[in-house]
Amino acid sequence: MGGAYRNGNNPSMEDRRLWKHVRDNVHGNIYLDPLALKFIDTEQFQRLRDLKQLGFTNMVYPGAVHSRFEHSVGVYWLAGNAIEKLKAHQGLELDIDQADIQTVKLAGLLHDVGHGPFSHLFEREFLPEVNRGSTWSHEDMSLKMIDYMVDEHNIDIDSGCLKKVKEMIIASSHTAPVKTSKEKLFLYDIVANGRNGIDVDKFDYIVRDSRACGLGCNFQFERLLDTMQVIDNEICYRAKEYLTVHKLFYTRADLHRTVYTHAKVKAIELMFVDALVKADKYLGVSSFIHDPSEYWKLDDSILKTIEITDADELKESRDIIRRIRRRDLYQFCNEFTVPKDKLDHFKQITLQDIICSQNSGGASLREEDLAVSNVKIDLTKGSNSPLESINFFEDYNSKEKFPISKDQISHLLPAYNQDLIVRVYSKKPDLVDVVSEAFENFQLKTYGVKAQVHGTPERKRRRIFS
Indicate if the pLDDT at residue 250 is higher than 80.
yes
Q: Where in the sequence numbering do the catalytic residues fall?
A: 138
**Distance separating the N- and C-terminal Cα atoms of the chain:** 68
Superfamily grouping for domain 13-262: Hypothetical protein af1432 (1.10.3210.10)
Q: List, as one string, the DSSP characters of 92-145.
A: HHHT--HHHHHHHHHHHHHTTTT--STTTHIIIIIHHHHSTT----HHHHHHHH
- Mean pLDDT is lowest, of 181-185, 332-336, 442-446, for 181-185
pLDDT digits (tens, 9 = 90+) for 74-106: 999 999 999 999 999 998 899 999 999 999 999
Quote the percentage of the chain above a pLDDT of 90. 76
pLDDT digits (tens, 9 = 90+) for 93-152: 999 999 999 999 999 999 999 999 999 999 999 999 998 878 899 999 999 999 999 999
As a whole number of angstroms, the distance between CA 199 and CA 360 comes to 53
User: Interior CA angle at 246 toward 244 and 251, to 5°?
Assistant: 90
Confidence of residue 360 (pLDDT cuts 50, 70, 90): confident
As a whole number of angstroms, the distance between CA 268 and CA 264 comes to 6
Confidence of residue 175 (pLDDT cuts 50, 70, 90): very low
Question: pLDDT averaged over the chain?
Answer: 90
Q: How far is CA 101 from CA 20, 156, 160, 269, in A?
A: 18, 17, 14, 39
Q: What is the arrangement of strands in the sheet containing 370-378, beginning at the earlier edge strand?
A: 331-337, 418-426, 370-378
pLDDT digits (tens, 9 = 90+) for 204-227: 999 999 999 999 898 999 999 999
Q: Can you tell me the mean pLDDT for 167-196?
A: 80
| Predicted model pTM | 0.92
Indicate if the pLDDT at residue 363 is higher than 80.
no
Indicate if the pLDDT at residue 4 is higher than 50.
no
Indicate if the pLDDT at residue 14 is higher than 80.
no
The β-bridge partners of 335 are 423
Residues of the chain with CATH 1.10.3210.10: 13-262
Indicate if the pLDDT at residue 462 is higher than 70.
no
pLDDT digits (tens, 9 = 90+) for 394-423: 998 888 999 987 667 665 566 678 889 999
pLDDT of 176: 45
Confidence of residue 158 (pLDDT cuts 50, 70, 90): very high
pLDDT of 386: 81
pLDDT digits (tens, 9 = 90+) for 336-350: 999 888 888 889 999
pLDDT of 450: 84
Indicate if the pLDDT at residue 458 is higher than 70.
no
- Mean pLDDT is lowest, of 1-15, 128-142, 320-334, 413-427, for 1-15
Residues of the chain with CATH 3.30.70: 332-379+414-466
Indicate if the pLDDT at residue 193 is higher than 60.
yes
Amino acid identity, position 126: F
More confident residue, 13 or 232: 232
Quote the percentage of the chain above a pLDDT of 70. 89
CB contact at 8 A, 348 and 373: no
Could you please state the CATH topology (level 3) that the domain comprising 332-379+414-466 is classified under. Answer: Alpha-Beta Plaits (3.30.70)
